[in-house]
Amino acid sequence: MKSYEEVYKVVKNGLSASRFKHSENVMDRCVEFAKLYDEDVEKAKLVGIAHDIAKEFPKEKRVRTAEQDGVKLTEFEKNHLSLIHAKHGAIICEKDFGFSEDMCDAISFHSTAKAGMSKLAKILYLADFCEKDRPFVEAEKAYEKGKENLDEAYLYALSENIKFMIEDRNQIDIASIEAYNDMLK
């Protein structure tokens, strides 16, 4: 697996300054939560910095490029281009950086979540939701919950994301609904 310094350099060179700052903020939260919840800090640091590596790929090329790289896209993802970056980023991190399966799984579902999320995946999902520059009050609430109970904070963030999509009359990926239902078992 590539070192943090190598991954950092590639990610920094591939993202805009604002997107890279977001990735640094997510990484910081991932490290904080990993320490709190006895997760591998190095893995958390790497998924945090690299989670949006494919976020700024040109929209007109996203589906074609992702499929050429071996990403298996759902019809929902093909119709919601903003979601493609997660699975595509995971493939890039596996091929180019040697990320492990659990790290790639966390990156693959950092936007939608899924049923059966690992601790690392929950940490990344939560960190992305509540990184320090998020401008909504729910982010701060999720962060405070995250310092107390990972599952409760993750469920809160997931619920808030689903509410945002409903309020904006956006379609919801079935993976998000399945993740929510899974957490309520």
Q: How confident is the model at residue 167 (pLDDT cuts 50, 70, 90)?
A: very high
What is the pLDDT, as a whole number, of residue 138? 97
Does domain 4-183 bear CATH number 1.10.3210.10? yes
What confidence score (pLDDT) does residue 67 get?
Answer: 87
Q: What is the pLDDT of residue 72?
A: 87
Residue scoring higher pLDDT (56 or 63): 56
- How much is the average pLDDT of 123-128? 98
Q: What is the mean pLDDT of residues 127-131?
A: 98
According to the model, what pLDDT value does residue 179 have?
98
pLDDT (0 to 100) of residue 63: 86
On the question of pLDDT at 10 being above 80, the answer is yes
Average pLDDT over residues 46-69: 90
pLDDT tens digits along 95-113: 999 999 999 999 999 999 9
148-157 long-range contacts, CB within 8 A, separation 24+: 150/33, 150/36, 150/37, 150/119, 150/122, 150/123, 150/126, 151/122, 151/183, 153/126, 154/113, 154/117, 154/122, 154/125, 154/126, 154/183, 155/180, 155/183, 155/184, 157/125, 157/126, 157/129, 157/130
